[in-house]
């Protein structure tokens, strides 16, 4: 006779069988049964965050840094709703996380019971799939499916809502070894006819550009991208989410394109006769004015998600499948060794004429801080960011050469993301140095996670680029609203060094350029978390900048 297990025991059994080593959570009444089982399990590390939103972001950062699924656990009602921003962040960037939420007993659902929220309804549009478990016998199958859905195809978050009576109820239903979902069959192998058609376009092109997105990283296709680019001698530009997918110290690198991309990447895309998009979705921050995006180019679009193809721009050769597999086949199908001397000469001229630059005179510049972080870490750190100017400077002035080293909220643009995500990343990759490059506005949104970093001795280094403003909004107000600075000045912000010290964290304030490197080296010598408060030029802007709705060639440049 099979032994019956409670729903809570099944959840923990599932975590063990799926190889989960860390979960991020916050307990409450509805999930006490799970926490009671976890109390006796030593194989799984539970990280108690100080806010449920931070649990979701930490699970997300863990997933991005490791390539594994991230798991978070919260109670019902406000515990579940506090996950929403984190789930939406993961959904927009195709990050595999599993969110387990508590729920009131099934008999009370719909009665406005204490701490009841329809979390499956709330998260319907921001999850890849979600479940409300109504029968404990179905729980093992549901959890197995949740992990499978989150980690296959276009990856993403899955939520499993767990009524309390399901967690206390018992079943002898086994945990499945395999998953079979008739309506869900991701296509990994690209159509060979389409691949050959793409190969001919590549062979015939004179001015091709590879445009690589986050799909390169999620599919583990960085090596294939590097081999394909060198085989065909085609320059590569990446999206924000694609940073690290192609080494930026490679001669073929154009770095990032789009609203705050390099001028040479934007010019190259505009003058290209062929764009090979891999694992990217042509979002508005990349395309600018769609009618003027790559106006002379035919477009090959490789993506595992068929709904992303031709969603924003016309596509001449769509290929649905996994980037790793398709790039390998394209290497075999293309001639390679094309010189394209005129095209590469043109790109080199743009690179010489339009490097990323800034005025080094005057007050401490945020770009200088990022450059020094790169130098001191020798490009080997994992960089997490908040959102805004700090995010763009981190993208522009740190040189990314490896996948899973840039962790940032791209699609949703979530302030407060970077710090808890950096904690998740550091826990997942204890062998790496992890920096959170933050703004003084964003950092305050989850500043309470200093307590989490202290409790678990997570040695994250927080570099606050402190300009006393909501910097990116202020920049837009300066450029497009005649400098009418409406509600962007952060007067009343705390002394971050004192706040850090109150949590038991070392705080360091830096005001002059010559202090930056010694402060960074001191921070790296400290085995625990450190907060570095860099007082930077207040009205420094991120350039280049493509105004909203403008063509990629219509960039505003800070220096003449």
CATH (one of 3.40.50.970, 3.30.420.40, 3.40.50.720, 3.40.190.10) for 5-171: 3.40.50.970
pLDDT of residue 552: 96
| Residue 3 confidence class, pLDDT cut points 50, 70, 90 | confident
User: Which segments of 285-381 are extended strands (E)?
Assistant: 298-303, 317-320
Comparing CA positions, the residue from 385, 386, 391, 449 lying closest to residue 415 is 386
pLDDT over 70 at 174, yes or no: yes
Q: Is the pTM of this model over 0.95?
A: yes
Closest CA to 92 of 546, 439, 414: 414
Say if CB 268 and CB 208 are below 8 A apart. Answer: no
Could you report the per-residue pLDDT of 468-498, keeping only the tens digit for each? 999 999 999 999 999 999 999 999 999 999 9
Tokens coding 488? 């962007």
SS3 of 363, please?
Answer: coil
Q: What is the pLDDT of residue 338?
A: 85
Residue 115 annotated to the active site: yes
Contacts of 77 (CB under 8 A, 6+ apart): 28, 30, 114, 115, 116, 117
CATH classification number, 192-353, choose in 3.40.30.10, 3.20.20.70, 3.30.479.10, 3.40.50.1220? 3.40.50.1220
Q: What is the mean pLDDT of residues 167-172?
A: 97
Listed by start position, the domains of the chain span 5-171, 192-353, 366-535
421-427-428 Cα angle (round to 5)? 90
Flag whether pLDDT at 559 surpasses 90: no
The full 3-state SS of 161-182, as one line of letters, equals: EEEHHHHHCEECCCCCCCCCCC
Same fold yes or no, 192-353 and 366-535: yes
Catalytic residue among 128, 144, 155, 164: 164
The neighbouring-strand residues paired with 509 are 533
Q: Kindly write down the DSSP assignment for every residue of 10-57, as one continuous string.
A: HHHHHHHHTT--EEEEE--GGGHHHHHHHTT--SSEEEE-SSHHHHHH
Cα 252 from Cα 233, distance rounded (Å): 8
Mean pLDDT of 370-389: 98
CATH superfamily of 366-535: Thiamin diphosphate (ThDP)-binding fold, Pyr/PP domains (3.40.50.970)
Q: Is 402 a catalytic residue?
A: no
- Do residues 517 and 492 lie in contact, with contact meaning Cβ atoms separated by under 8 Å? no
User: Which one is catalytic: 21, 68, 115, 194?
Assistant: 115
Across the range 114-129, mean pLDDT stands at 98
**DSSP H or E segment with residue 71:** strand 70-74
Average pLDDT over residues 224-243: 98
Does the active-site annotation cover 21? Answer: no
Q: What is the mean pLDDT of residues 450-465?
A: 98
Mean pLDDT of the chain: 97
State residue 304 phi and psi, 5-degree precision. -75, -15
Task: Say how far apart CA 340 and CA 336 lie, in whole Å.
Answer: 11
Assign 1 a pLDDT band (cuts: 50, 70, 90). low
Token pair of 80, please? 């579940």
**What tokens does 10 get?**
């099944």
Q: Is the pLDDT of residue 236 over 70?
A: yes
| Band of residue 537 on the pLDDT scale cut at 50, 70, 90 | very high
Given the residues 9, 52, 224, 540, the one annotated as active site:
52
Starting at the earlier edge strand, list the strands of the sheet with 461-466.
Answer: 406-407, 382-385, 434-439, 461-466, 530-535, 506-510
180 is catalytic: no
Residue 560 binned pLDDT confidence (cut-offs 50, 70, 90): low
Q: Is the pLDDT of residue 387 over 60?
A: yes
Q: At residue 240, does pLDDT exceed 90?
A: yes
Q: In whole angstroms, what is the distance from residue 308 CA to residue 145 CA?
A: 23
* Banded pLDDT at 390 (limits 50, 70, 90): very high
β-bridge mates for residue 277, sequence order: 211, 301
Residue partners of 468: CB distance under 8 A and separation at least 6: 440, 489, 490, 491, 493, 538
How far apart (Å, rounded) are the C-alpha atoms in residues 78 and 539? 38
Range 228-235 average pLDDT: 97
State the catalytic residue, choosing from 472, 475, 534, 545.
472
The beta strands (E) that lie in 448-550 are given as 461-466, 506-510, 530-535
- The answer to whether residue 415 is catalytic is no
530-535 and 461-466 as β-strands: parallel, antiparallel, unpaired? parallel
- Give yes or no for residue 523 having a pLDDT over 60: yes
In this predicted structure, which of 88-97, 128-137, 301-310 has the lowest mean pLDDT? 301-310
**Six-digit token pair at 539?**
């009205």
How does residue 337 score in pLDDT terms, banded at 50, 70 and 90?
A: confident
* 10 pLDDT above the threshold of 70: yes
């Amino acid at each position: 006779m099979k032994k019956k297990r409670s729903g809570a025991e099944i959840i923990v059994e599932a975590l063990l069988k799926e190889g989960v080593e860390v979960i991020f959570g916050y307990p409450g009444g509805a999930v006490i049964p799970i926490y009671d089982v976890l109390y006796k399990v030593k194989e799984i590390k539970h990280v108690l965050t100080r806010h449920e939103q931070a649990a979701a972001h930490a699970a997300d950062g863990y997933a991005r840094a490791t390539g594994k699924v991230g798991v978070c656990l919260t109670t019902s009602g406000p515990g579940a709703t506090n996950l929403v921003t984190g789930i939406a962040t993961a959904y927009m960037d195709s990050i595999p996380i599993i969110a387990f939420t508590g729920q009131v007993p099934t008999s009370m659902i719909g009665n406005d019971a204490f701490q009841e929220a329809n979390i499956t309804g709330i998260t319907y549009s921001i999850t890849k799939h979600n479940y409300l478990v109504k029968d404990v016998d179905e729980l093992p199958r549901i959890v197995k499916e949740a992990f499978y859905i989150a980690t296959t195809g276009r990856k993403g978050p899955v939520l499993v809502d767990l009524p309390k009576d399901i967690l206390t109820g018992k079943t002898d239903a086994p945990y499945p070894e395999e998953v079979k979902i008739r309506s869900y069959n991701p296509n990994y192998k690209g159509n060979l006819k389409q691949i050959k058609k793409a190969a001919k376009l590549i062979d015939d092109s004179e001015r091709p550009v590879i445009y690589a997105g986050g799909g390169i990283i999620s599919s583990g296709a960085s090596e294939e991208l590097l081999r394909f680019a060198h085989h065909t001698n085609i320059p590569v530009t990446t999206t924000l989410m694609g940073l690290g997918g192609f080494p930026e110290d490679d001669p073929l690198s154009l770095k990032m394109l789009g609203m705050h991309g390099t001028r040479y990447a934007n010019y190259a895309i505009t003058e290209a006769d062929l764009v090979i998009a891999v694992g990217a979705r042509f979002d508005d921050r990349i395309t600018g004015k769609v009618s003027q995006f790559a106006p002379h180019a035919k477009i090959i679009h490789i993506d595992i998600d068929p709904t992303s193809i031709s969603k924003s721009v016309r596509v001449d050769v769509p290929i649905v499948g996994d980037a790793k597999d398709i790039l390998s086949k394209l290497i075999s199908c293309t001639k390679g060794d094309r010189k394209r001397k005129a095209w590469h000469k043109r790109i080199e001229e743009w690179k010489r004429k339009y490097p990323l630059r800034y005025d080094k005179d005057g007050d401490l510049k945020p770009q200088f801080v990022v450059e020094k972080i790169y130098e001191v870490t020798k490009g080997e750190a994992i960089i997490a960011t908040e959102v805004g100017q700090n995010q763009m400077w981190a993208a522009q002035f740190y040189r990314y050469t490896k996948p899973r080293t840039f962790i940032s909220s791209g699609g949703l643009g979530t302030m407060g993301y970077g710090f808890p995500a950096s904690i998740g990343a550091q826990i997942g990759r204890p062998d790496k140095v992890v920096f959170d490059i933050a703004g003084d506005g964003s950092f305050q949104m989850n500043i309470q996670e200093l307590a989490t970093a202290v409790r678990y001795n997570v040695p994250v280094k927080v570099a606050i680029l402190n300009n006393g403003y909501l910097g990116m909004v202020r920049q837009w107000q300066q450029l497009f609203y005649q400098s009418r600075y409406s509600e962007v000045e952060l007067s009343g912000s705390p002394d971050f060094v004192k706040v850090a010290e109150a949590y038991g964290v070392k705080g360091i304030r830096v005001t002059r350029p010559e202090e930056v490197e010694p402060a960074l080296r001191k921070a790296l010598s400290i085995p625990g978390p450190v907060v570095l408060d860099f007082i930077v030029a207040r009205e420094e802007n991120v350039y280049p900048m493509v105004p909203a709705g403008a063509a990629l060639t219509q960039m505003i440049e800070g220096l003449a």
